[in-house]
Structure formats: C-alpha cells, structure tokens
Amino acid sequence: MSTLKRFFQDTLIYGFATVFPRLMNFVLVPLHTDILSREEYSVNTVFYVWAAFFNVVLTYGMETSFFRFFSRAKEKNNVFSTAFIALTTTTIVFAILVFIFQDYLINLMDLDPFYFKLLFSVLVLDTLVVVPFAYLRAMNRPIKFAGIKIINILVYVVLNFYFLWFVRDYPQFAPQFIIDNYEPKDIVGYIFIANLAASAITFILLLPYFFRTRLNFDIRIFKQMWHYGWPVMIAGIAFVINENLDKLLIKDMISDEIMGAYSGCYKLAVFMTIFVQAFKMGAEPFFFNHAEKENARQTYAEILKYFVISGSIILLILVGYIDLFKQWVIRDSEYWIAISIVPIILLANLFLGIYHNLSVWYKLTDRTRTGMYISIFGAIITISLNVILIPIMGFIAAAWATLGAYGAMMLVSYFLGRKYYPVPYNVKKISLYLLLSIGLSLISFIHYRKDYWIASVLLGIFVLVVFMLERKQLNKILKQ
C-alpha cells in the first residue's frame, strides 16, 4: 500500500470520528433555530465561544506536544504519564481558581451564573480526557476513538431533542421529576445540561486509561513538551479570536438578534469545517510519523493538491445549492438576513485548511513559535478589520475579516515554509484549481442564484478539468 493511500485511509477513519459529531451538531441546527429566538441563539453562541477559548488555555498545546514526543520516544509511557499528570494538575488548579473568582468571571463573560457553572464543569471534564484521546490516536486505535466520540455526540443530540422537543411538546409522557423541574422559559440551558451529561459519560468511558500506566512525572519531558506546546496554545488562542471574536463584536456593536442570525448562517459552512477538521485529525499524526520517509516532502505536496481539489468541490456544491441548504437547515426565515456571509466563510475555511497543511514546516522543524507569530498576525488582522469595518459595512465585514485573516496566514506560512522546510508544492495547479472554483462559485452565486441546473453544469466543468489534469496520477494511486 502506498504511503499516500495509507494517509487517505487514516484520514477517512479518524475523519469519521470528527465528521459524525459535526453532522449530528448540524442536525441540531434546525431544532435550535426553530425553537430558540435569535437572542437565545446568541446566548448559546456566547457559551461556546468561551468554551473554545478556555479549552485552548486549559490544554496549553499539550495534545500536539504529545504527538510530537510520543511518536519518537523510547519510553512512551513516560510521555503519556507526564502529559496526563500535568493536565490533571493544572485542571484542578484551574477549578479552584474559578471557584474563588467566579463572581468576577461571571460579570466578565456576561453569562448567567447557572450557565457559568455548567460551562466550567464541561471544561474540566473535557480537559481531563485530552491525553487519553490523544493516546488512542497515537496508538492507532481508531475504532475505540471513534466509538467514544460517537457515544458522546449521540448522548448530546438525544438529550437536546428530549429536552427541547419531547418534554416541551409531550410533557404527559415525561417523568414527573423532570416536569417538576422543567423551565420552558429557560430552554437554552438544557442545551448546556445535555453537553455536561455527554462530557460526563465520555469521562467515565475513558476512566480506565487514567490507570493504564504507573504514574511517573518526568520534569525533563514536561519542560520539552511545554517548550514545544506553549506557542501552540498562543496560536490556538489566536485561532479562537479569528473564529469567534466577530460574533462577540457583532453582539456588542450591532445587536443580539443580528449576532444570532449571523451565527445561525455561519453553521451552513459546517461541511467545509468538517472537511478541514477531518483532514487535520488524520494529517497531524501522519505528518509526524512519516517525516523521516525518503519521499515525505513529495507526499506532503500531493496531499495539499488533493486537499484543494476536494475543498474546491465542496465550495462549489455548497455555494451552488445554498438556497436549498438554508431551507432544510434554517427554516426560520428571520435568520436568512445573514445568508450572504456563507460563500465568504466557506472560502475562508478552505484557506484555513490550506494553512493547516502548510503548517507542517514549523511543526516538523520545531518552530512552533513562528506558527504562533503567524496566528497572532491573523488575529491582529481579524481584530483590526472587525473594529474598523463593522460600523461601516455591518455584519458582512466580519466575514470578510475572517477571509482576510486566513488568507494572509496561508500566504505567510507558504513563503516561510519555502525557506525553512521547502516542499515541492505544485503551485500552478493548486492556484488554477482555487481560482477556477472561486470564479465558478461567484458566477453561480451572483448571476445564477437558485438555478440548480447551472450550478450542476459549473460543478461538472470543474470536475472535468480536474479529471483531465489528474487522471494519470489518480490511476497510479489506485493501482498501488
């Protein structure tokens, strides 16, 4: 089996563990947008924006560090044990500090006190299982990894439907203790309760891995992992800013209703997000494990090319059929006022995926600090464009700011990578596929909106061009 073919198989396996939960979350969008007002959807969004931020802070790059050092360590148990003890200790300290300063944090985060307690309970449980999940990926245990991820999301989805739909509409069939404590006016809180229940079950399922090895904290290993990981944490914080600051600024600078509509339409880009996340899940261990292979750089170049092809097809499909998707996913037409952001966000996420691919150079050369600087650069662009343009252009400025940030990060990473870890990317072909898909998407969205025959023809043109240029390489891969 060729190395490239093995990569695609690994990405498919681990990608499913990412795709399925994302799809299930996507299934919840119609439920949430039907039941929640735009203001309530705004509260839901704020909760998960803060969750994303603290998730990065609490893990402080330890997951990526784990892959880096576990893959090349002779005493792998020492790496596992050190990472596990470090994250557990810092999580406990964090929980104590939150308890002490909870009043200040509640005011800062603008969250209901009950939601605040739910948020930090979820964060503690999710952080404690980071190393066990990373261990499953590093040891190539995709079935168990995927199984636990699927159980987690199924619990979350089922409880969402139970509390937001079943108990609400059919209270006569619900247990009396549920009815006695049910608050239909506080419906958004049940989304967070469902999340806490799913996180608790995941924690229980992974509990055996807490005792899988003798505890041994190696300060030398920890210093190496910290040195490697803290720039990843800063880069992660910058990513959270790039991905979420726009929503908080729209809430403060425009209104909760517009922020809710923006966040709802943002969900229509989920298929591109799923694709990028699935790629990242499969690629990160693969890049580290194959770094010493003779043809590693050529393999990385081929992976980027096929990533761009796949992402371009997703872009064309979602833009061409956007009005069908919006009716299926967001049935409340009040949310549609922000539909124009979707093509921009789709392209922004495609650029982000390219950036993740290009980031192989600073991860393999241990220049994670440079990756941090690139992410900070992107965050500065995000903050500047949002603050300057939202008062002038409205919510659409936030989408353009996201595209500008990810596009700039992609270009900077490419040019720095040429210097420190040159990979023979086929820039001409990649640029052709990108420009062609962008051009065809613009034609579809601007001139042939809701004309699905034309959208299909434009998609067919792109696929035909790819087939003509790649058929020899594809046949070679399939025959190996």
Q: Which class for 223: exposed (0-12), middle (13-18), buried (19 or more C-beta within 10 A)?
A: exposed
Q: For 393-418, write each residue's pLDDT tens digit.
A: 999 999 999 999 999 999 999 999 99
CA distance 408 to 71: 31
In the chain, where the domains are located: 3-479
The answer to whether the pTM exceeds 0.85 is: no
Non-local CB neighbours of 329 within 8 Å, separated by 6+ positions: 26, 29, 30, 33, 267, 268
Q: What is the structure's pLDDT at 327? A: 84
Q: For 434-477, write each residue's pLDDT tens digit.
A: 999 999 999 999 998 888 999 999 999 999 999 998 887 767 65
Residues of the chain with pLDDT under 70: 1-18, 71, 73, 140, 212-213, 281-285, 288-292, 474, 476-480
Q: What is the structure's pLDDT at 228? A: 83
Q: What is the structure's pLDDT at 392? A: 93
216: left (phi over 0), alpha (psi -120 to 50) or beta: beta
Q: What is the structure's pLDDT at 1? A: 46
